[in-house]
Amino acid sequence: MNLLLWILFGAVVGWLASIIMKQNSRMGIIANIVVGLIGSVIGGWIASSIAGYSLNMYSWQGFVFSILGAIILLAVLNVLTRNKRL
């Protein structure tokens, strides 16, 4: 059950980040899940490094930092793949 919650959380976070970054039309559900889960790790690292505390994914702060991490991941991927699309 815990794995299912992680997948659902990653899908929602990745989907919201892709909407914010205007990449929703290019991403499928698997990409949203991967971006959401990796973004959660990045967001957790940012929260622990800057804010100095550990987050729970079930809190609103954990959700916000996860979306922030996913947005950062999408922005970095956008920069890295920008030249390859030309």
Ordered alpha helix ranges (H), 1-86: 2-20, 29-46, 60-81
Residue 77 CA, chain-centre distance (Å), reads 12
Q: Read off the pLDDT of each residue in 56-60 and give the average, rounded to a whole number.
A: 73
Q: Read off the pLDDT of each residue in 30-39 and give the average, rounded to a whole number.
A: 93
Rounded to whole angstroms, how far apart are CA atoms 75 and 54? 24
Q: Which two tokens stand for residue 3?
A: 């794995």
Structural domains counted in the chain: 1
Q: Mean of the per-residue pLDDT values for the chain? A: 86
CB 64, CB 42: distance < 8 Å: no
> Does residue 33 register a pLDDT over 80?
yes
Q: What is the pLDDT of residue 74?
A: 94
Residue 22 CA, chain-centre distance (Å), reads 14
Domain that holds residue 58: 2-85
Q: What is the pLDDT of residues 5-21, one digit of tens each?
A: 889 999 999 999 999 99
Tokens 């919201």 sit on residue: 16
